[in-house]
Amino acid sequence: MTSITEKEFERQAGYFELRWYHSGKNQTEKTFKIIQSLFTKDKTGEWDDIVTGFDNMEEYQVKSKFFGCIVGRYANRIGGGKFSLNGMNYELFKNNGGDPPRNSLHGGKVGFDKKFWEAKIIENEVELRLSSEDGDEGYPGKLDVLVTYSLVGDAFSIKYEATSDSDTVVNLTNHTYFNLDGHKNWSTLDNHSMTINADNYVDVDEFAIPKDGLTDVRANAYERFSRVYSWWKRNRP
């Protein structure tokens, strides 16, 4: 069974608690557009939080590394802080990549992570809505966004929808930091690994802007397949 309640968070914002009850245990998701914590069972069957988060709004505001937030209008970097669309050039706020900054990151100075969203509870879901006006942070078109957080059974999901009244660019994501060791055994991510079924990857420059073309994963010092396999051989049970 899933229940959702709305609570006050530091008198500045609200958060929602999505809780799944199962055999006397629970999985909890607290959020007001920020994923503050996510509890799941570890390999021993114990419940633990696997998300990096804070207990108050001040820390989220001061330590602005986009912890757990919705990122938009455009997640990641736009090189040079500008783009062209339908023959028109658009200048964006530059907040990343050297001094002075040369790129626009995660939507600019006041991205979606810094905006308050209208929220509505619907059964086992929380709907978050935001309207971004034409010209917001330099982007064209009025953009209406709907983000839905849901918890069904043991599956937590996020759904993104966006509509615009004119051609625009949009790239939405969530910026939660995960550590699968959990808070009880909090450490670095040195013992984490991930397998991606890919032959090529997009290389980036010194400011994390994609370069032209694709690079073979085995063509240089990355040796991604070999590194994952070597780690697995050293650390497997």
Query: How far apart, in Å, do the first and last CA atoms of the chain sit?
Result: 36
- pLDDT by residue (tens digit) across 204-225? 888 889 999 998 877 664 555 5
Range(s) within the chain of domains with CATH label 2.70.98.10: 2-187
Query: What pLDDT is stored for residue 135 in this prediction?
Result: 98
Query: What pLDDT is stored for residue 35 in this prediction?
Result: 81
| pTM summary value | 0.78
* Cα 54 from Cα 63, distance rounded (Å): 10
- pLDDT by residue (tens digit) across 167-184? 999 999 999 988 888 888
- pLDDT by residue (tens digit) across 3-55? 555 555 444 444 455 554 333 344 444 444 678 888 888 888 888 888 887 77
Percent of the chain with pLDDT over 70: 76
Query: What pLDDT is stored for residue 184 in this prediction?
Result: 84
Mean pLDDT rounded to a whole number for the chain: 80
Query: What pLDDT is stored for residue 14 in this prediction?
Result: 47
* Cα 86 from Cα 143, distance rounded (Å): 17
Query: What pLDDT is stored for residue 236 in this prediction?
Result: 44
Which class is 2-187 in CATH? Answer: mainly beta
Query: What pLDDT is stored for residue 25 in this prediction?
Result: 42
Residue 178 to residues 91, 212, 224: CA-CA distances in angstroms? Answer: 33, 30, 21
Query: What pLDDT is stored for residue 23 in this prediction?
Result: 36
